[in-house]
Structure 1
Amino acid sequence: MRILQWGEDRRFDQIRSNLGKLAVFWILQAVWVWTVSLPITVVNASNHNPSLRAADVIGWIMWLVGVVIETTADQQKLAFKNSPENRGKWCDVGLWKVSRHPNYFGEIFLWWGIFVASTPVLEGIEWLVILGPIFLTLLLLFVSGIPLLEKSADKKFGNVTEYVRYKRETSPLIPLPTAIYGNLPSWFKKNFLFEFPFYSRKFPGASKTGTEQARTKAATD
């Protein structure tokens, strides 16, 4: 839906004219899809047909919750960006009030759900399909997901007081009420809630209000 509205995928702007870089990107995408899909691939290829188990139901529920969260978060952000009055602002509505990246939480949760649902079929070396959800989780936490978006948002809004407060009080991944998350000790956030130090750059002077930042952004765009 986003691409249909924009007319192109802006993530390709820097590589679209370079066939080599574009090929590398698509090959990496293929490896990504193959790795993450391992639980489904093995289950579909298996001759085992166990009866319905608790792991099946738990996995399906996890998948459904993940899909709903990811879809809802994406639609909320799309609607936010499409509103002219939100130009130059960061998304902090709906699920984005309780997580800085709820769409990634949904993505990770649904793939772990698929793995859980696959466990009644797995035997021996087939358990290595756990590398699928592990790969996705590590990728979004440390490589191409949260780190890139946090860096981009810090660059745009790092001097905005409301943004600094939003970042301090809002969980990076797992949806939690800000009243709870904002009062948790930093060691707990770092070790259990994925608030890694490299997600944040130093904020030298968070003095501008959100309105002032939006006006400045609008004037420079």
Structure 2
Amino acid sequence: MTSDVHFKGRDLLGLALYLGGSCYSLAYEVGRFQWKAKPENKGKLHTVGLAAWCIHPNYFGDLFTYTGWGLACGTTCALSIPIMMIWTFVMFVVPNSDDYLAKRYPEQFPSYAAKTATLIPGLHSKVMSQILAWVGTILGAGRRVAQVQCCV
């Protein structure tokens, strides 16, 4: 594999993002399972810990995991994966998960969703999330097309 992403500390940054994202996602899942295991939380929507920052912290962590993996690979092709993940999460995965949560927790989810970011902590606007997903996809695809044209 030929590396086409070069900057000082790329491998170290890639490793840090990979491990950080993996630990973030794992911490959320472990915390959620522990919280759900308590009898007093039966039938309740999990909204504490990392879930207080965004509705889908596991997906947020995955973005860092795969960005780190892409950097460690050192190719723009590998870095296109987390860009496409953002688009896929924002356009398909998150809306489907939100629909599930809204049906499963009809009394709790609307107020939680109204005050909590969906995917990226601090970003509460679904429209802005969609714009970010499209801009990232377009810029990522544009760079990849320009790179392929330069190689031809």
Indicate the residue corresponding to 1:108 in structure 2.
63
Q: Shift of the alpha carbon at 1:134?
A: 3.1
Question: Residues 104 and 140 of structure 1 are in contact (CA less than 8 Å); yes or no, is this contact kept in structure 2?
Answer: yes
TM-score by length of 1: 0.51
Label 1:142 to 1:115 Cα distance change in 2 as closer, same or farther (>3 A): same
TM-score, normalization by structure 2: 0.70
Q: Displacement of 1:78 after TM fit?
A: 0.9
2:120 matches 1:174: yes
Instruction: Judge conservation of contact 1:171–1:195 (CA < 8 Å) in 2.
Output: no
Partner of 1:132: 81
Matches within 5 A, 1:6-45: 42=1
The alignment-based identity, stated in percent, is 25
* Matched AA of 2:64: F
> What amino acid sits opposite 2:105 in the alignment?
F
Unaligned 5+ runs, structure 2: 134-152
Equivalent residue, structure 2, for 1:215: none
- Counterpart residue number, 1:218: none
> Which of 134, 143, 151 pairs up with 2:99?
151
User: One-letter code of the match for 1:151?
Assistant: D
Between structure 1 and structure 2, the one with the greater Rg is 1
Q: In structure 1, the residue corresponding to 2:45 is in which secondary structure?
A: coil
Q: What is the Cα deviation at residue 115 of structure 1? A: 1.1
Q: Which residue of 2 aligns with 1:58?
A: 13
Q: Which has the higher helix share?
A: 2
User: How many residue pairs are counted as aligned between the two chains?
Assistant: 131
Q: Which runs of 5+ in 1 are unaligned?
A: 1-41, 197-221
| Maintained 8 Å contact 1:98/1:171 | yes
Distance 1:136 1:192 in 2: 13
Distance in 1 between residues matched to 2:36 and 2:25, nearest whole Å: 17
The aligned residue for residue 190 of structure 1 is 127
CA RMSD of aligned residues (A): 2.9
Contact 1:80 1:86 in 2 (8 A): yes
